[in-house]
Amino acid sequence: MDFKSTIRTVPDYPRTGIMFRDVSTLMADAKAFSAAVEKLSAPFEKFEISKVAGIDARGFILGGAIAVRLNAGFLPLRKPGKLPYRTFSESYELEYGSDALHMHVDGVKPGERVLLVDDLIATGGTAEAGVKLLRRGRADIVSAVFLVDLPDLGGARRVRNMGVEVKALVSFDGD
Ligand X SMILES: Nc1ncnc2[nH]cnc12
Ligand Y SMILES: O=P(O)(O)OC[C@H]1O[C@H](OP(=O)(O)OP(=O)(O)O)[C@H](O)[C@@H]1O
By the rule CB under 6 A, 122 interacts with ligand X: yes
Kindly give, in sequence order, each residue whose CB lies less than 8 Å from that of residue 155, ignoring residues fewer than 6 positions away: 121, 122, 123, 124, 125, 127, 149
State the pairing for strand pair 19-22/8-11.
antiparallel
Under the binding rule (CB under 6 A), the answer on residue 18 touching ligand X is yes
The residue (of 67 and 101) whose beta carbon lies closer to ligand Y is: 101
Beta strands in 8-78 (DSSP E): 8-11, 19-22, 51-55, 73-77
Catalytic residue among 58, 90, 112, 158: 58
95 assigned to active site: yes
Cα 112 from chain centre: 18
Residue 57 touches which of ligand Y, ligand X, none (CB < 5 to 8 A by kind)?
ligand Y
Binding to ligand X, residues 83-102 (CB under 6 A): 95
Which does residue 21 touch among ligand Y, ligand X, none (CB within 5 to 8 A, set by kind)? ligand X
Among residues 38, 93, 95, 112, the one annotated as catalytic is: 95
Active-site residues: which are they?
A: 58, 95
